Amino acid sequence: MIIDTKNLSEDKIYKIMISTIAPRPIAWISTVSKDGIYNIAPFSFYMGVSSSPPLVAVSIGKRDDDRKKDTWKNIEETGEFVINVVTYDLVEKMNITAAPFEDYVDEFQEAGLTPLPSDLVKAPRIKESPINIECKKFMILDIADMGLVFGEILRYHIDDTLLNEKGYIDNKKIKLVGRLGGADYCIVSAENIFTLKRPDKR
Ligand SMILES: Cc1cc2nc3c(=O)[nH]c(=O)nc-3n(C[C@H](O)[C@H](O)[C@H](O)COP(=O)(O)O)c2cc1C
């Protein structure tokens, strides 16, 4: 089968894109508005960009009424955010925070999550998530209806049991969740991890 994007509706393109770019990590982003309201939302069009400087990029869209999503607006206005990882035990709460709450709603309260102060940014961290990543806005590119938000990582907060002696997160312990197409997800668990050494590395 051959599918040209120019003959497809936006909806069909979206479906093929999100099920071929898979699995995707989820940036569960907590922010605070300029009026002090806490916000949380998940984003899976998310990637690492560079380690020097340490940059990530997250693609954030608009609401159905064409307003920027609260996360985009808050990052634009405050310049700060926290990325929290999503583990299997947190998926239901993550899903609650994907609802289109109005910007005056505190999504920590809606999802039953606990805000913790960050050290270097005003945006709160999610206590229940074992890894919180404090970021500051590096730049935002306006691309069609999306804001491609580049963030510089300032500080990691990592559960002490998760970092191994080689400096990696122990993915056999943490049960990270990935997003697939539609409402499907996958879990990173000990039995589906394998090791493959690169030919050019010892
Ligand atoms: C797992 C998951 C991944 C998502 N990824 C994205 C994404 O990459 N970009 C986006 O604009 N919306 C994404 N969404 C939808 C947003 O989370 C949703 O629109 C949310 O209400 C935005 O909240 P906010 O207005 O508080 O920022 C995703 C939803 C889920 C459940």
Q: Residue 30 pairs with which residues in a beta bridge? A: 40, 82
Residue of the CA atom closest to atom 5 of ligand 1: 43
Query: Residue 202: its pLDDT value, please?
Result: 63
Q: Which atom of ligand 1 is nearest to the CA of 29?
A: 27
Q: Which atom of ligand 1 is nearest to the CA of 63?
A: 19
Query: Is the per-residue pLDDT at 171 higher than 70?
Result: yes
pLDDT tens-digit readout, 17-72: 999 999 999 999 999 999 999 999 999 999 999 999 999 999 999 999 999 999 99
Q: 164 vs 56, 153, 201, CA distance in Å?
A: 23, 20, 20
- Of the candidates 180, 182, 185, the one whose C-alpha atom is nearest the C-alpha of residue 12 is 182
Ligand 1 site, residue 87, Cβ cutoff 6 A:
no
- Of the candidates 95, 87, 91, 90, the one whose C-alpha atom is nearest the C-alpha of residue 188 is 87
pLDDT tens-digit readout, 96-152: 999 999 999 999 999 999 999 999 999 999 999 999 999 999 999 999 999 999 999
Residue 11, both tokens: 């909806």
Query: Is the per-residue pLDDT at 201 higher than 90?
Result: no
pTM: 0.97
Burial 168-201 (b: 16+ CB within 10 A, else e): ebeeeebbbbbbeeeeebeebeeeeeeeeeeeee
DSSP, collapsed to helix, strand or coil, labels residue 57 as strand
- Of the candidates 21, 136, 41, 134, the one whose C-alpha atom is nearest the C-alpha of residue 86 is 41
Give 85 Cα–ligand 1 centroid separation in angstroms.
14
- Of the candidates 81, 62, 74, the one whose C-alpha atom is nearest the C-alpha of residue 34 is 74
Confidence grade of residue 7 (pLDDT, cut at 50, 70, 90): confident
Question: Cβ–Cβ contacts within 10 Å for residue 39, how many?
Answer: 24
Query: Is the per-residue pLDDT at 183 higher than 90?
Result: yes
Map out the domains of the chain with their CATH numbers: 5-192 (2.30.110.10)
Average pLDDT, the chain: 97
Ligand 1 site, residue 41, Cβ cutoff 6 A:
yes
How, if at all, do strands 80-84 and 131-143 pair? antiparallel
Give 138 Cα–ligand 1 centroid separation in angstroms.
20
Query: Residue 38: its pLDDT value, please?
Result: 98
